[in-house]
Amino acid sequence: MKFESPQKLISAFNFSSLTDIVMLLLIFFLLSSQFVLQTGVKVKLPGAKNNEQAQATNFSVTITDQGRIYVGSDEVGLNELAGRLSAIKKNQSENLTIRADKSVKIDIIIKVIDAAKGIGIDKFTIQTEKVSF
């Protein structure tokens, strides 16, 4: 007499555990992709319709709405800006990124560019935010 065994091969795969793992990975990558390295100085950048994505660099000057000037995250005066930039220039690219608040007078930006040109920096990028008009 032949008896039927209750153990049969499972012909379908249960995807519920795989779905949980994929969902957790998706949440992890979405959250971790939001962490962008920027300086600790907050400025409201001017808007431009046709701006390009700037590469993150430590060779940047930030000018706040109060007229304070920061190299990276360190505050410097306008008279010591050239010395600080020349010390950083040795290890960085030749392109200086200027992050100026949109309420900053153009006179301060020109003085920063003039100080940078005085030490041999000829390429500048003025960072903007993309806006739709």
CATH number at residue 99: 3.30.420.270
* pLDDT averaged over every residue in the chain: 78
Res 8: pLDDT: 72
CA distance 42 to 122: 26
Could you tell me the pLDDT band of residue 10, with boundaries at 50, 70 and 90?
Answer: low
Lowest mean pLDDT segment, chosen from 24-33, 92-101, 117-126 = 92-101
Domain assignment of residue 124, yes or no: yes
Domain assignment of residue 6, yes or no: no
Res 36: pLDDT: 55
Domain assignment of residue 116, yes or no: yes
Domain assignment of residue 84, yes or no: yes
Helix/strand/coil for 37: coil
**Number of domain units in the chain:** 1
Domain assignment of residue 41, yes or no: no
Domain assignment of residue 56, yes or no: yes
CA distance 22 to 96: 41
Domain that holds residue 55: 47-130
Helix/strand/coil for 108: helix
The percent of residues above 70 in pLDDT, for the chain, comes to 73
Reported as half-sphere exposure (CB side, CA atoms, 13 A), residue 120 has a value of 8
Domain assignment of residue 30, yes or no: no
pLDDT in tens, 96-122: 888 888 888 889 988 998 988 888 888
pLDDT in tens, 43-81: 667 767 676 665 556 678 889 888 889 987 788 988 898
Q: What is the mean pLDDT of residues 35-49?
A: 64
Domain assignment of residue 83, yes or no: yes
